Amino acid sequence: MRSLPNGHISSFIGNGYASNFNLLLFTFKKTFWQMTQHNVGALVVVKPGQEKSLAGIVTERDYLRKIIVQGRSSKSTKVGDIMTEENKLITVKPGTKVLQAMQLMTENRIRHIPVIEGTGMLGMVSIGDVVRAVVNEHREELNRLNAYIQGGY
């Protein structure tokens, strides 16, 4: 298979909503409101006073599994209590191939993956971003093959 657009995760950085405030002490109700307002399925939690330093990630699945199923209150549960913490996160670098990221996301059953460089986070990629890139590349390849078959290559 040919490489995907730019071939690397770096082609996605800067395409989505970013939260530049510390969510650790927010209740999940307030955080879930942020997610719905921006139509996103996950938010990055940053370390206090360190805008690009990742503390963890909180997702819709966290809401379902760690609040609803466990009978907790979203009004009183703090994000820091239920987020996936930094040391348990699966991340990629800007140079990671798109198909490698897709494989990581599929094998680990995750929908969002932070993009890290050095000690800072550059952005986050969703499985939707990755699938769109693969579909677009396949469409382009199909168009190239059709042109070749028709002699217009």
**Mean pLDDT of all residues in 26-42:** 78
Question: 97 is in which domain, residue-wise?
Answer: 9-149
- Return the CATH number at 125: 3.10.580.10
Query: ∠ CA 58-93-53 to the nearest 5 degrees?
Result: 50
In a domain, residue 4? The reply is no
121 vs 7 pLDDT, higher one = 121
Closest CA relative to residue 116, chosen from 46, 38, 37: 46
Residue 1, in any domain of the structure: no
Q: For residue 130, is it within any domain?
A: yes
For residue 60, tell me if it sits in a domain: yes
Contact 112, 119 (CB under 8 A): no
- Which is nearest to 79 in space by CA: 110, 42, 132? 42
Q: Does residue 69 form part of some domain?
A: yes
Confidence of residue 118 (pLDDT cuts 50, 70, 90): confident
Q: What percent of the chain has pLDDT over 90?
A: 16
* Number of domains into which the chain is organized: 1
**3 located within any domain:** no
Tell me the C-alpha distance between 1 and 24, whole Å: 42
Give domain status of residue 101, yes or no: yes
Question: Phi-psi category of 151—alpha, beta or left, where left has phi over 0 and alpha has psi -120 to 50?
Answer: left
Alpha-carbon distance 105 to 28, whole Å? 24
Report the C-alpha gap between 86 and 89 in whole angstroms.
5
